[in-house]
C-alpha cells in the first residue's frame, strides 16, 4: 500500500474513534444528568442518601437512637427543628431544621413518673398540684415559642397541660435544681411540676436559637413502656401512607388557667405556699 494511502486510512480511523468517544461522552453525561435530576426531584431519594445518624459518637440511649432513626427514616420532622426528651435518662437533645444535633443537656422532669397527664392537672393552680399530678407526658407534640406571665421566654410543649421547656428560674428551688442537674443520677432530676427544665446557659444558647423562633416538634419518650409502642414502624398495609402520629397542638395565646411551672398572681397566703414549688 502506498504511504499516502496508509496515512489517509489512519486518519480516517482516528476520526472515527474520536466521533465514537464523543458519542460515549455525550451519552454518559445524559445519564448522569437524568440521574441527578431524579435524585433532586425525588425527596425519598435525597433522604435515602443521607441516613447517617446525628448521634454518631454521641452518648445517647438505645431509645433515643431508635426515635432519631425513626424521625429520619419517615421524614417526620418535616424539615423543622425538633427535640428528643429521654425521660429515663433525664436528658434532652436539640436538633436543627436539617436534622443535625445542635446540643444536649441533662434536664429536670416532672416529680411523678407516668406518661399520661392527669386530667384536669393543667387547669389547676400550681400550688394545688398533688405529687402524683406532676408528670411530664410522653408523646409527639408541636412546639411553639411563647412567654410566661412574667414575660420570660419559654417553648410550649403541650399547652393544654401547661408543659413547657424553660430555664432554671431564680427562687428557693434554684440551688437544689442546679445541684440535681450536675448529678449523674436520673432519679435526682425528678423535681418539676411537669415542665422540662434546663440550665439557663443551655436554654439561652441552644434551645431559644433553635426552637424559640418557629414551630418545631418535641418527642418525649415514654418511661412506663417500650418506646416502640409509641413510635412504631408502620404496618405493611399502611407503609405507603406513612401516617404520622397526631400532633398535639398548642394555643397561640396564654390562657390564664394554664401557667404551670410559674407562680400565679396569688394572694399573700397562696404565694407563700407556692414559692417552694414554683418553676
Q: Is the pLDDT of residue 262 over 60?
A: no
Q: Is the pLDDT of residue 158 over 80?
A: yes
Q: What is the pLDDT of residue 182?
A: 85
Q: What pTM value is reported for the model?
A: 0.67
Q: Is the pLDDT of residue 272 over 60?
A: no
Q: Is the pLDDT of residue 49 over 90?
A: no
Q: What is the pLDDT of residue 19?
A: 63
Q: Is the pLDDT of residue 174 over 90?
A: no
**Mean pLDDT score, 205-231:** 95
In degrees and rounded to multiples of 5, residue 189 shows phi and psi of -105, 15
In this structure, of 141-145, 159-163, 164-168, the range with the lowest mean pLDDT score is 159-163
Cβ 105 vs Cβ 84: under 8 Å? no
Cβ 223 vs Cβ 87: under 8 Å? yes
Would you call 198 exposed, middle or buried from its count of C-beta atoms within 10 A (0-12, 13-18, 19+)?
Answer: buried
Q: What is the pLDDT of residue 36?
A: 37
**Residue 206 has what DSSP assignment?**
I
**Residue 127 has what DSSP assignment?**
G
Cα–Cα nearest to 140, from 71, 234, 210: 71
Q: What is the pLDDT of residue 249?
A: 46
Q: What is the pLDDT of residue 33?
A: 42
Q: What is the pLDDT of residue 185?
A: 86
Cite the DSSP H helix spans in the chain.
3-41, 43-49, 62-74, 174-182, 200-202, 208-211, 227-230, 268-275
Amino acid at each position: 500500500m502506498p504511504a499516502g494511502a496508509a496515512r489517509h486510512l489512519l486518519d480516517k480511523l482516528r476520526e472515527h474513534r474520536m466521533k465514537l468517544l464523543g458519542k460515549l461522552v455525550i451519552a454518559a453525561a445524559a445519564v448522569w444528568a437524568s440521574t441527578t435530576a431524579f435524585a433532586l426531584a425525588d425527596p425519598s431519594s435525597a433522604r435515602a442518601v443521607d441516613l447517617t445518624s446525628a448521634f454518631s459518637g454521641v452518648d445517647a440511649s438505645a431509645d433515643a437512637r431508635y426515635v432519631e432513626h425513626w424521625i429520619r427514616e419517615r421524614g417526620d420532622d418535616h424539615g423543622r427543628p425538633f427535640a428528643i426528651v429521654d425521660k429515663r435518662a433525664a436528658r434532652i437533645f436539640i436538633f436543627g431544621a436539617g436534622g443535625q444535633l445542635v446540643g444536649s443537656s441533662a434536664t429536670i422532669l416532672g416529680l411523678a413518673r407516668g406518661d399520661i397527664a392527669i386530667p384536669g392537672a393543667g387547669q389547676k393552680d400550681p400550688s394545688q398540684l398533688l405529687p402524683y399530678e406532676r408528670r411530664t407526658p410522653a408523646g409527639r407534640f408541636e412546639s411553639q415559642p411563647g412567654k410566661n406571665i412574667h414575660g420570660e421566654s419559654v417553648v410550649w410543649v403541650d399547652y393544654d397541660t401547661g408543659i413547657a421547656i424553660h430555664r432554671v428560674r431564680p427562687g428557693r428551688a434554684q440551688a437544689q435544681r442546679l445541684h440535681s442537674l450536675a448529678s449523674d443520677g436520673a432519679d435526682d432530676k425528678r423535681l418539676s411540676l411537669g415542665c422540662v427544665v434546663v440550665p439557663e446557659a443551655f436554654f439561652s444558647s441552644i434551645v431559644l436559637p433553635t426552637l424559640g423562633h418557629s414551630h418545631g416538634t418535641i418527642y418525649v419518650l415514654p418511661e412506663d413502656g417500650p418506646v416502640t409502642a409509641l413510635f412504631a414502624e408502620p404496618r405493611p398495609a399502611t407503609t405507603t401512607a406513612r401516617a404520622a402520629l397526631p400532633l398535639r397542638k398548642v394555643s397561640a395565646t396564654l390562657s390564664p388557667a394554664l401557667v404551670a411551672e410559674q407562680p400565679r398572681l396569688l394572694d399573700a397566703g397562696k404565694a407563700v405556699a407556692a414559692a417552694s414549688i414554683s418553676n
